Amino acid sequence: MPHFDLIELIKAVGYLGLFGIVFAETGLLVGFFLPGDSLLFTAGILAAEGYLDISLLLIVLAGAAIIGDSTGYAIGKKFGPKIFAKENSLLFNKNHLHKAEKFFEKHGPKTIIIARFVPIIRTFVPTLAGVGKMNYAKFLTYNIVGGLFWVLSVTMLGYYLGLTVPNIEKYIVPGIAIIILLSISPYLKQLITNGELRHQIYEYVKKTLGRVFPRK
């Protein structure tokens, strides 16, 4: 999403809309495609420019992040393994769920915090915690710590740059690009170090191109 669209979106939807977007992106399985890090970063810049109140903004975003994760946990606990049987659709990809499952298995409970900074993974991890019936008090502790750390770090980065960098609007695109790059760095690292994954991607691309451009 272009930066000017994101700015206009934030101005148009206000605090309630920001709450809804972050809530859906962190707590609903169909919200993985919504902006997360870039939204927080840009909202922080707009707060520095006076369009939003930074204190209220942080409360709204942190509340949405924490409540969103708790909702995802509740969904996982209620529906359990049935979620893994759900068919792929435009708004749901089972592969994303399995990637989050592997991520959770690797990092354990601290995944609740780490996943906050990994797009797509953060949408599915709370649900997996619910499916695995992780103790809710323990989950909530990690949820609150992770939610606060994510919101404060990314939003305040945008806010600080908005206060200190003249004409920050000119640098929003590079700033968002850096945040996105940092967010997807775990995927890039895996792509570089995992030969099997590269081979799978190659075969998939080859197969897809073969369908689009069949040999005569």
> Rounded mean pLDDT of the chain?
76
The average pLDDT across 51-56 equals 96
User: What's the pLDDT at 81?
Assistant: 64
Cβ contacts of 201 within 8 Å, gap of 6 or more: 191
In the chain, the largest separation of any two C-alpha atoms, in whole Å, equals 63
- With H, G, I as helix, E, B as strand and everything else as coil, classify residue 79: helix
Mark out the alpha helices in 49-135 (DSSP H runs).
54-79, 94-107, 111-114, 121-131
User: What's the pLDDT at 36?
Assistant: 76
> Distance (Å, rounded) from C-alpha 191 to C-alpha 184?
11
Predicted confidence (pLDDT) at residue 5 exceeds the cutoff of 90? no
Contact 84, 43 (CB under 8 A): no
**Angle, to 10 degrees, between the axis of helix 3-27 and the axis of helix 37-48?**
130
What single letter denotes the amino acid at residue 187? Y
* Tokens 């990809």, residue located: 93
**Angle, to 10 degrees, between the axis of helix 172-193 and the axis of helix 195-212?**
110
> Distance (Å, rounded) from C-alpha 192 to C-alpha 44?
33
User: What's the pLDDT at 97?
Assistant: 57
> Distance (Å, rounded) from C-alpha 44 to C-alpha 151?
10
Predicted confidence (pLDDT) at residue 189 exceeds the cutoff of 50? yes
Cβ contacts of 199 within 8 Å, gap of 6 or more: none
Using 50, 70 and 90 to split pLDDT, how confident is the model at 102?
A: low
